[in-house]
Structure 1
Amino acid sequence: MRVAVVGASGNSGTALLHALREEEQVTEVVGIARRRPDGTAAPYDVARWEQVDIAAPVALADGEDFVVDELARALDGVDTVVHLAWLIQPNHERDLLRRANVDGTRRVVEACLRAGVGHLVVASSVGSYSPVDDDERRDESWPAHGSATTSHYAVDKAAQERILDEAEAAGLSVARVRPALVFDADAGAEIMRLFLGALVPPALLRPGGLPFLPLPAGLRLQVVHGDDLADAYRRIIVQGATGAFNIATEPVLTGKDLAEVLDHGRVVEVPPAALRPVVSLAWQARALAADAGWLDMAMNVPLMDTTRARTELGWEPRGEAKETLRELLVGMVEGQGTPSPQMRPRESWPQDQLPPGSVPADGLVAEAEEDSAAHRVPAHLQRDILGLYLSDHLTGATAGLERSERMAADYADTDHGEELARVALEIREERELLVNLMDSLSLRRRPHRQAAAWVAERAGRLKVNERPGGSPMTPVLESELMRSAVMGKLGLWQTLVELSPDLGLPAPMFEALAQQARDQAETYERFHQHIIGTAFRQGEID
């Protein structure tokens, strides 16, 4: 059996690779990730790696999705796909999260259908369930429409469920795994980074570190150890199981349980309504990585009944809930991780991401970043130079878009109007692609430069010509400028073709954009050839 794991370098993916190493029925594992982990280190050495970013933006006039093409190629000959990839940070960039999580799931489904994969296993969540206001256990038949509309995580998990409904209708066998909070020691550094952020001292989580524990009143949590969740995935893969499975261990944790694990037993319950604005303000100030939607979701999710997983899969968790939480807290205090970009231990964080009181490893270089999300540019690339390069091209694209749309409007009634309008639309789509690409890579856009380019281009329109109707030389100069601009843009796409393997982006997309730039240059060349005669002689442009 050949198994592909999308998001294999994350927390659940790492645990699943450990589990699949010992599974005799699995003959090959294909690991798919946006950035490769250390393929020589366990457990990542069990997989053959393919680098694909399922959140990569695509903006081509014909709508072709090169990410799906790349995924389908990577899934050729695979029997089961396990889709675990999910982006939590940067949660200030909502469009990026939806593209990665919802559109990313749609891309995985489409790639499975194209590649003829028969079995898809997807990481859903307890957050996908509709909200409740009691402690009654719910099985998998409970509606999955999202536990909180204020939670981007819950909203996107519910949207993912609808995509899986469509996948089943298209004939794909689908298993939906709905786990509780997934904890283990190796996730310590990652969870600190994703949910607490760089301003929270890890020492506070050490047993006895807090004089008391403030928690929202009525909080109760279900958790599961990463290894136990991986065992559930393994059983679903081997058995070819379909349908939904709740995965959680016992007992349900209350605020008092959390306080006992932290070794002081003193908890102060705070009304959630009073706590929410504090969390929201801390998130807005970048002092806390998790937004208030996580609190809303925690207070509304149902308690899950795990009978189906136990009876049909033969699954039994080995980790007890309090011990699982204690293991996570130790991992968070010690900054544990693995040789994966997402799971890297705290000792390898850039200095600006280290919590107070932490001692950075020697030789680390501080790098500014708005959110606590992991860098989305691999360390061997010069992040600052790449960011400046893309920002400069975005500045040029901003001015070029203004000029191209003005030309399309000015010459709409000529023989070249349709071609110029098509090129202007392509340039708009390309600029949007560049914006999304920089957001995906967490690179600064430097909007003041784009604003200056827009103002400069608008100011150029105020040039006073000697003729009331405008100078006939204007279209000549404009076509020459735009021809030069799109040829400069050709260099951008060629550069990204070269860098695409490092960034996990589809090279064919940038190759197609490079050809599109050549075609645009030819359009402006034809327009230029048509008008140069009339510009310097008597007559009008047809």
Structure 2
Amino acid sequence: MKIVVVGATGNAGTAVLRALHQTSEVTGIVAVARRLPDPGVEPYEGCEWHSIDIAAASTSDDAVEQLTEVFRGADSVIHLAWLIQPNDQRELLRRVNVEGTRRVTEAVARAGVPHLVAASSVGAYSPDEARSGGGEPPLRDESFPAGGIDSSHYSVDKAAQEKVLDAFAAEHPEVAVTRLRPGLIFQADAASEVQRYFLGGAMPLQLLKAGRLPALTVPKGLLLQAVHADDIGRAYVAAAVRQVPGTFNICADDVLGPQELADVIDHGRVMEVPPGIVRAALAAAHKAGIVPADAGWLDMGMQVPLMDNSRAAEELGWRPQVSAVDALQELIDAIVEGHGHPSPSLHPRDKDERLVTVTGEPAKAGARSGAGSAPEDGPEDLPEELTKDLLGLYLSDHLTGATAGVNRIERMAEDFVDTPVYADLASLADEIRADRELLRNIIDDLGFPRRPYRQAAAWAAERAGRLKLNGRVVQRSPMTLLLEAELMRSAVAGKKGVWETLRELSPQLGLDEEVFDRLVETSDRQTATLDGVHAYARERALRDDRDTFWD
């Protein structure tokens, strides 16, 4: 069987690829994503990769044409692509999630694919009045209404997606349509993504590594269903192989209530408070930009029905192998450790912990103990011909500039997610962040202080710079992308300079000169990418007849 996976680099997609590789019936895997991963990393290896933007910054005709070509000859298409953030771009989310699904279905029909598996969610369900009545609510099967939760954009879009699938199934009875409605999907590889998308820095669960909370505060009546990513991966593959049409609830057998959450996150001490108080606090934190998740996520968790997963066992031969408690424990442990996976969306929180220094050896344990661990006057064993204080200051200044550069390029990727240059900007953000961490490693391993107050100042200055209006108050200025691309080109040129300098000094510092040759080449490639971004921006930014944010 030839299986195509759309949205193959995310939480579910990564698990589906793992399951496909382990399935004897599968002879070919085609993977589609807007941003491509390293094809040499498990489980992305052994796949035929295609970069396609299904709806964020593409026309319907272009997206359907590209998808149709990729879908030809497939026995089944598994559609997983879904955009969760940014919350404040509601039209973009609906375009990608709902219109994107429509484009996938159209391409499935045009390509003559006999089977489509679509990722729905427990969030598609309407509110269950039994959740507010106290006591243990009943388990609901797939016939429960799927009208969504009005206050949750995720839920509303999942319900709208199901209407697209209803219309497609009615119009194309020759295509078997399968929908999976999973609960929350947990795995260690998704830890950093979960923290970025939902918790942010205001809820640093990694502090649990040092100690526990006095008690876990949760809204009274909160009940959650979850599934381990490996289990949901097996469910998608079972659906693709068996090609059974219909809708299937996918979740572990146990339910996560306040006590179960407290047992995993805390010492079992739990304090239940009225949901309205928690909702008000979450809404305020989200509005202030402290927490990425909005109050709609809580509303969904408090109102959707508890699912009965027996149909999946009967018709797909699927049973969960990991409990919800164990899946949550794995996720929390991984968040504490900053774990992730080398994909565009699952990358670890602390990339520097997964780099080696330019000496070819892992970073020294002492150097990882944090900023300020090196002596203020620098290393004692520096060659006499080098001016120690100037070299330390030079590297610290470049680290300061790199901190501002990382903030800028990450902000650009977030702000221009609805443009054709997003994939380039997002890839650049990953590379430039890794370059910054490598420079930190070099400073640590040479024994120089980082001077963290300088990086803090750079962080604050870059954010203050975001207040410039560029002629617009309540919307993005078309000129912003043009200016930001120019500033980033200058930043990359400066970064190339430090690599050239360190290459020159490599013999005296005991560093690997070839590493800096590659870093200089990488800087040139990054400049070329920014040249392309600038070309796109300058063709649109100063004209009334071209739209900067839509191609």
Question: Which residue is 2:285 aligned to?
Answer: 282
After TM superposition, give the deviation of residue 499 of structure 1 in Å.
Answer: 7.3
How is 1:520-535 mapped onto 2 (pairs within 5 angstroms)?
Answer: none
Question: Which residue is 1:27 aligned to?
Answer: 27
Kindly indicate whether the alpha-carbon contact (under 8 Å) linking 1:206 and 1:262 is maintained by their aligned counterparts in 2. Answer: no
Partner Cα distance (1:451, 1:94) in 2: 19
Kindly indicate whether the alpha-carbon contact (under 8 Å) linking 1:207 and 1:261 is maintained by their aligned counterparts in 2. Answer: no
Partner Cα distance (1:297, 1:85) in 2: 20
After TM superposition, give the deviation of residue 133 of structure 1 in Å.
Answer: 2.6
Question: Which residue is 2:7 aligned to?
Answer: 7
Question: Which residue is 1:417 aligned to?
Answer: none
Kindly indicate whether the alpha-carbon contact (under 8 Å) linking 1:377 and 1:383 is maintained by their aligned counterparts in 2. Answer: no
Question: Which residue is 1:527 aligned to?
Answer: none
Partner Cα distance (1:349, 1:194) in 2: 21
Question: Which residue is 2:39 aligned to?
Answer: 39
Q: 1:267–1:139: structure 2 CA closer, same or farther, 3 Å change rule?
A: same
Kindly indicate whether the alpha-carbon contact (under 8 Å) linking 2:215 and 2:266 is maintained by their aligned counterparts in 1. Answer: no
Q: 1:16–1:358: structure 2 CA closer, same or farther, 3 Å change rule?
A: farther
Structure 2, unaligned runs of 5 or more: 131-136, 354-367, 372-398, 431-465, 478-527, 547-551
Per-residue Cα deviation, 1:4-27 (whole angstroms, up to 9, x for no partner): 000000011101111111111111
Q: 1:306–1:334: structure 2 CA closer, same or farther, 3 Å change rule?
A: same
After TM superposition, give the deviation of residue 38 of structure 1 in Å.
Answer: 0.8
Question: Which residue is 1:366 aligned to?
Answer: 406
Partner Cα distance (1:316, 1:280) in 2: 37
Tell me the percent identity.
47
Kindly indicate whether the alpha-carbon contact (under 8 Å) linking 1:203 and 1:209 is maintained by their aligned counterparts in 2. Answer: no
Alignment of 1:319 with 2:341, yes or no, is no
Question: Which residue is 1:178 aligned to?
Answer: 181
Partner Cα distance (1:127, 1:250) in 2: 18
Partner Cα distance (2:49, 2:467) in 1: 31
Alignment of 1:300 with 2:303, yes or no, is yes
Question: Which residue is 2:138 aligned to?
Answer: 136
After TM superposition, give the deviation of residue 202 of structure 1 in Å.
Answer: 2.7
Q: Which has the larger radius of gyration?
A: 1
Specify the SS of the correspondent of 2:69.
helix
How is 1:24-423 mapped onto 2 (pairs within 5 angstroms)?
Answer: 24-58=24-58, 65-134=61-130, 135-146=137-148, 148-171=149-172, 172-206=175-209, 208-348=211-351, 366-368=406-408, 376-378=422-424
**Letter paired with 1:448:** N
Q: 1:56–1:358: structure 2 CA closer, same or farther, 3 Å change rule?
A: farther
**Letter paired with 1:163:** V
Per-residue Cα deviation, 1:220-279 (whole angstroms, up to 9, x for no partner): 111100001111111111111110000011211110111011241111111111111110
Partner Cα distance (1:43, 1:142) in 2: 35
Q: 1:207–1:2: structure 2 CA closer, same or farther, 3 Å change rule?
A: farther
Specify the SS of the correspondent of 1:32.
strand
After TM superposition, give the deviation of residue 312 of structure 1 in Å.
Answer: 1.3
Kindly indicate whether the alpha-carbon contact (under 8 Å) linking 2:259 and 2:270 is maintained by their aligned counterparts in 1. Answer: yes
Aligned pair count reads: 394
Per-residue Cα deviation, 1:11-65 (whole angstroms, up to 9, x for no partner): 1110111111111111111110000011011100031100011133356xxxx62
Partner Cα distance (1:325, 1:380) in 2: 29
Q: 1:35–1:212: structure 2 CA closer, same or farther, 3 Å change rule?
A: same
Larger mean Cα displacement after TM superposition, 66-75 or 213-222? 66-75
TM-score computed with the length of structure 1 as normaliser: 0.67
Partner Cα distance (1:165, 1:367) in 2: 43
Specify the SS of the correspondent of 2:471.
helix
Larger mean Cα displacement after TM superposition, 193-202 or 280-289? 193-202
Kindly indicate whether the alpha-carbon contact (under 8 Å) linking 1:129 and 1:158 is maintained by their aligned counterparts in 2. Answer: yes
Specify the SS of the correspondent of 1:221.
coil
After TM superposition, give the deviation of residue 371 of structure 1 in Å.
Answer: 11
Per-residue Cα deviation, 1:426-450 (whole angstroms, up to 9, x for no partner): xxxxxxxxxxxxxxxxxx9975335
Partner Cα distance (2:298, 2:286) in 1: 12
**Letter paired with 2:214:** P
After TM superposition, give the deviation of residue 106 of structure 1 in Å.
Answer: 0.8
**Letter paired with 1:165:** D
Kindly indicate whether the alpha-carbon contact (under 8 Å) linking 1:208 and 1:264 is maintained by their aligned counterparts in 2. Answer: no
Kindly indicate whether the alpha-carbon contact (under 8 Å) linking 1:128 and 1:157 is maintained by their aligned counterparts in 2. Answer: yes
Per-residue Cα deviation, 1:135-186 (whole angstroms, up to 9, x for no partner): 111001111110x201000000000000000110121311000001000111
Partner Cα distance (2:86, 2:116) in 1: 27
**Letter paired with 2:253:** E
Q: 1:272–1:21: structure 2 CA closer, same or farther, 3 Å change rule?
A: same
TM-score computed with the length of structure 2 as normaliser: 0.66
Partner Cα distance (1:349, 1:283) in 2: 29
Partner Cα distance (1:381, 1:123) in 2: 26
Kindly indicate whether the alpha-carbon contact (under 8 Å) linking 1:180 and 1:223 is maintained by their aligned counterparts in 2. Answer: yes
After TM superposition, give the deviation of residue 372 of structure 1 in Å.
Answer: 11
Per-residue Cα deviation, 1:64-112 (whole angstroms, up to 9, x for no partner): 6211111111112111100011111111111111111111111111111
Alignment of 1:448 with 2:451, yes or no, is no
Specify the SS of the correspondent of 1:211.
coil
Kindly indicate whether the alpha-carbon contact (under 8 Å) linking 1:55 and 1:99 is maintained by their aligned counterparts in 2. Answer: yes
Kindly indicate whether the alpha-carbon contact (under 8 Å) linking 1:6 and 1:33 is maintained by their aligned counterparts in 2. Answer: yes
Per-residue Cα deviation, 1:284-334 (whole angstroms, up to 9, x for no partner): 111001000001111001000011001111111110121111001011111
After TM superposition, give the deviation of residue 214 of structure 1 in Å.
Answer: 0.8
Specify the SS of the correspondent of 1:449.
coil
After TM superposition, give the deviation of residue 198 of structure 1 in Å.
Answer: 2.6
How is 1:506-525 mapped onto 2 (pairs within 5 angstroms)?
Answer: none
Specify the SS of the correspondent of 1:141.
coil
After TM superposition, give the deviation of residue 190 of structure 1 in Å.
Answer: 0.6
Partner Cα distance (2:265, 2:211) in 1: 6
Structure 1, unaligned runs of 5 or more: 351-356, 385-443, 456-497, 504-509, 521-542
Specify the SS of the correspondent of 1:168.
helix
Larger mean Cα displacement after TM superposition, 188-197 or 310-319? 310-319
1 or 2 for the larger relative contact order (CA 8 Å, sep ≥6)?
A: 1
**Letter paired with 1:198:** G
After TM superposition, give the deviation of residue 380 of structure 1 in Å.
Answer: 8.3
Kindly indicate whether the alpha-carbon contact (under 8 Å) linking 1:208 and 1:262 is maintained by their aligned counterparts in 2. Answer: no
Specify the SS of the correspondent of 1:275.
helix
**Letter paired with 1:130:** S
Specify the SS of the correspondent of 2:35.
coil
Q: 1:209–1:370: structure 2 CA closer, same or farther, 3 Å change rule?
A: farther
Q: 1:373–1:15: structure 2 CA closer, same or farther, 3 Å change rule?
A: farther
